[in-house]
Amino acid sequence: MHVAALVHFTVQGFWSLVKTQAQGLLAGGAAVGLTAGSLSKFLLLLGAGLGAVLVGVTIWAVLAYRRFRFRLGVARFDLFRGVVNRERLSLDLERVQTVNLDQPLFFRPFGLFSVSLETAGSSGREVRLPGVSRAFADRLRNRVRAAGGGGDVSRAAVGAAGAAGAAGAAAPIADTGPDAEATADRDATTLLWRARPGHLVRHGLVGGGGWWLLPGLGVAMGWAGERGVRLVLDAADDNAGFRRLLEWLVDQGVWLAGTIAVVASLAAVLVLVVVASVAAALVTLHGYRLVRLGDGFQRRCGLIESRERLVRDAKVQFVRLRQGPLARIMGLRVAEIVQAGGATAHFGSSGAGPLLIPALPAAELTAILCRLDPALAELGERWGRTPRVRSDPVYVLHMTLLWGAIPAAVGGGVAWVAGASLWALLSLAWPVVVAGAAALVRARAGLVVTGEHGAVDSGLIGRRRTLFALHKVQSVVIKQSLLQRRRKLADLVVHLAGRTLTVPFVPLDAAEDAAAWMLYRAETDPRPWL
């Protein structure tokens, strides 16, 4: 590996220390602050502690770099790593789901990348090779594709090229055939879509990437509200015109003033969320390119950290379409191509990470998904126009009683006994809210099963459709409560690799027919699910 990989191990060391010892570090800092006695002594002790941490992490990074080795065979990858506890990881290349290429900011001056390999069922990146060249990454990716049987590189070529193997990032993976591999990739490459800044702004508006700010904005608004009242009172004392405006608002009534304050606060929150969502889209999806590469999709994007990911067709488990209210008005859809297992493309994160296709019109998105599966793309294109198995209206009554009426009765009774009559009256509105939400869920829920494909619809404010091939189904479960037995209804639960789909309160006969057909196709289809 290049010596620049030391930066990766240093960052990894700090990140691991923060994740595992955050409470200890905070407790130590508090203890130093309480016992220091003076600010200068506190800063001196704090600087000494941070210096000790820096030296320790640097020593750990150097040892981790020196003991990090890997060996690539014809069909297996061996990784040796560890500072105190030595670890050896053996990975079958055929089991690899995705090959991700990341280029952090500190690797860009050297033209280096981090390559990560993910397998089904992994909670995070099992193999990550920092500080490797682009040529090395491309050859490793071709080797993985060939081992899975779906790549453009023949097994014979890979076997001949990998006979010598490789030990360490400095050793070549193959001495023969790189030009042929590059030519095969170049001939099989088709640019499907390239995002312009306007596309990313559009995706930020409808993608909802800034809603994670809401809790923080709520806290900030609570603090700002208190400060705002003080500022308003101070301004009224200093400015006669502003004081007359306040007196007019008071004359109009407290409700008008309160309404204006609430509307202004909600508008401010909405603007901040939209701005944050658009900014996140511009940064994370900067330079977005979606390419059809051989038997899969390759995505490349990122401003601060350039990320590249390859998803092979045979490894795809399902495709999820999302459409929020604004996206529906604009006629746009967001798609996510999901594989079993895997990890997100961000450093230190875990969990399955889909390949995102930003907001596009239905026709353009269908043309892209046709490269994966034309029948699956058509099922997604006919979203809202296909006959489907729908949830029974009893679902709304069930949810209203279970999550609306009973909690409202208990909460309202407690509030009434405590003397909070206003909260007791407000609790009467809770069943209405739950009934409305349940009605929206029922209106969007449904199941569509065709000859070889299926789709499950869901959603509350927006709507989602999950598309899957029936041979990808792992199991199907039919569940019934006492109420459902009497009404001959059931919950149909479809288990895919990495996701569970539920269609509530469907007719029992329809659930049994759909389950029987899905299991039949899963058992008789000769194609592997993975």
Express each pLDDT in 328-362 by its tens digit: 999 999 999 988 754 344 333 333 478 899 999 99
Residues 305 and 430 in one domain: no
pLDDT 10s digits, 38-75:
777 777 877 887 888 888 888 888 888 888 888 877 77
Q: Is the pLDDT of residue 457 over 80?
A: yes
Measured CA to CA, the distance from residue 368 to residue 177 in angstroms comes to 31
459 membership: H or E segment, kind and range: none
Q: What angle do CA 331, 321, 297 make, to 5 degrees?
A: 110
Q: Which residue has the higher pLDDT, 172 or 289?
A: 289
From 288, 401, 303, 307, select the one nearest 347 (Cα to Cα). Answer: 307
The CATH code of the domain that includes 83 is 2.30.29
Is the domain of 277 the same as that of 403?
no
Specify whether 193 is located in the same domain as 301: yes
pLDDT at 253: 59
Question: pTM for this one?
Answer: 0.71
pLDDT at 158: 33
The two tokens of residue 168 are 């360490």
Q: State which of 385, 416, 442 marks the end of a domain.
A: 442
Domain enclosing residue 310, as ranges = 188-340
pLDDT at 221: 58
User: How are the residues of the chain apportioned to helix, strand and coil, as percentages rounded to the nearest 5?
Assistant: 55, 25, 25
Is residue 456 situated within a structural domain? Answer: no
Measuring CA to CA, which residue among 47, 62, 49, 69 is closest to residue 12?
Answer: 62
Q: Are residues 128 and 196 in the same domain?
A: no
Please count the CA atoms within 13 angstroms of the CA of 469 that sit on its side-chain side.
Answer: 22
Nearest CA among 143, 149, 154 for reference residue 527: 149
pLDDT at 161 over 70: no
Long-range contacts of 90-94 (CB under 8 A, 24+ apart): 91/117, 91/119, 91/126, 91/127, 92/147, 93/143, 93/144, 93/147, 93/148, 94/147, 94/148, 94/149
Given 402, 425, 442, which residue is the final one in a domain? 442
**Residue 510 resides in a domain:** no
Classify burial at 73, counting beta carbons within 10 Å of its beta carbon; exposed 0-12, middle 13-18, buried 19 or more: middle
One-letter amino acid identity for 404?
G
- Does any domain span residue 315? yes
* CA neighbor of 469 nearest in space, from 276, 346, 364, 317: 317
Counting the structural domains of the chain, the total is 3
Task: Quote the tokens at residue 35.
Answer: 């016992």
For residues 280 and 207, state if they share a domain: yes
Residue with token string 């200890």:
24
Same domain, 294 and 213: yes
Most trustworthy range by pLDDT among 112-126, 168-182, 323-337: 323-337
Do residues 276 and 417 both lie within one domain? no
Shared domain for 110 and 239, answered yes or no, is no
Residue 231 lies in a domain: yes
- Helix residue ranges per DSSP H, 285-353: 325-330
* 100/116 Cα distance (integer angstroms): 5
Share of the chain above pLDDT 90, in %: 29
Give yes or no: residues 13 and 118 share one domain: yes
Residues linked to residue 76 through DSSP beta bridges, in sequence order: 92
- Together in a domain, 201 and 316: yes
**406 and 273 in one domain?**
no
Question: Same structural domain for residues 203 and 274?
Answer: yes
The answer to whether residue 332 is domain-embedded is yes
Question: What average pLDDT does the structure give for the chain?
Answer: 78
pLDDT (average), residues 428-441 = 92
Asked whether residue 304 is domain-assigned, the answer is yes
Each residue's pLDDT tens digit, 186-237: 445 788 999 999 999 999 888 765 555 555 555 555 555 556 666 666 666 7
Domain for residue 476, yes or no?
Answer: no
How far is the C-alpha of 174 from the C-alpha of 280, rounded, in Å?
39
43 is written with which tokens?
Answer: 């800063």
Indicate whether 133 belongs to any domain. yes
Q: What is the pLDDT of residue 168?
A: 38
Euclidean distance between the first and the last CA atom of the chain, given in angstroms as a whole number: 32
